[in-house]
Amino acid sequence: MTKIAVIITTYNRPDALSAVLDGYLAQSDANFELFVADDGSTLDTGQLVEAYRARSPFAIKHVWQEDRGFRAGRIRNLAIAATDAPYVIFTDGDCIPSKNFVANHRTLLEPGCFLSGNRMLLSEAFTRQILEEKIPVHEWGVPEWIGAKLSGKVNRILPLLNLPDCCRKTSPEKWEGVKTCNLSAWRKDLLEINGFDESYTGWGLEDSDLVIRLIRSGVRHKSARFSCPVFHLWHAENDRSRLEENGRRLDLILQSAHVRASLGLDRSS
């Protein structure tokens, strides 16, 4: 059975991370290791990770870097360097996994492909309710989610449906819309492209850059939509002051033939 590492980025939101870790403790497939990729949180996040590590059936590791602004690419690279698992699932510390999230990524993985799943957005009020009352939405079935949709607590429920496997390779070079809140890939393919480009700082587009280079290296996009959704807790909009600069950097990548990140994973290994 393929060894899997789940890499969860987080920054100073231990209440959301706790709900996410509860979802991983309840996974139908517990044959994975988990890395909390911490972009500079204060001590309470580390203490939370330690508490979960003490009662987890799988290994939980805390990878931390100094808080010097939004550096998601670098902390993910540090986590990739810290595992020897052949396959890596990326997600975020505000995305609660569905019960079969890991199991379905495992079912769909195949050589030469990366997987991209989708998400369901939870409302601000519902997010607050989940965190305050510790509602285990990772255990919910379709009837509960239909009720949530009818009451305006979630934006959609279509990701809960199952897509036939024959429809999963229709867009092998599609990079638009792929997000690292629900993305998985072979570690050797990530090493080949030198991981995330750490020159992207601030929110936005480091995931697009990664996927473009994966595709350019010959790795195909296989859809994991309608198979393993995550439930995305509401948060205020991130600071987008670096988005324009990151957009210019992405444009340069699109106009080039670059495959390897110039400032990437080889710095972290």
- What pLDDT is recorded for position 155? 96
- What pLDDT is recorded for position 63? 98
φ/ψ (deg, to 5) at 207: -75, -40
Q: What does the alpha-carbon distance between residue 59 and residue 194 come to, in Å, rounded to a whole number?
A: 25
pLDDT in tens, 238-257: 656 666 777 787 788 778 88
- What pLDDT is recorded for position 43? 97
Mean pLDDT of the chain: 93
Q: What is the domain partition of the chain in residue ranges?
A: 4-267
User: Residue 167 pLDDT > 90, yes or no?
Assistant: no
User: Residue 237 pLDDT > 80, yes or no?
Assistant: no
- What pLDDT is recorded for position 238? 67
User: Residue 80 pLDDT > 90, yes or no?
Assistant: yes
pTM of the model: 0.95
pLDDT in tens, 193-236: 999 998 887 766 888 889 999 999 999 999 999 999 999 999 87
Q: What does the alpha-carbon distance between residue 136 and residue 68 come to, in Å, rounded to a whole number?
A: 33
Do residues 264 and 198 make contact, with C-beta atoms less than 8 angstroms apart? yes
Burial 201-221 (b: 16+ CB within 10 A, else e): bbbbbbbbbbbbbbbbeebeb
Choices 3.40.50.720, 3.40.50.880, 1.10.10.10, 3.90.550.10: CATH for 4-267: 3.90.550.10
3-class state of residue 261 by DSSP:
coil
- What pLDDT is recorded for position 256? 84
Q: Measured between alpha carbons, how far is residue 174 from residues 139, 146, 261 in Å? A: 32, 30, 20
pLDDT in tens, 99-156: 999 999 999 999 999 999 999 999 999 999 999 999 999 999 999 999 999 999 999 9
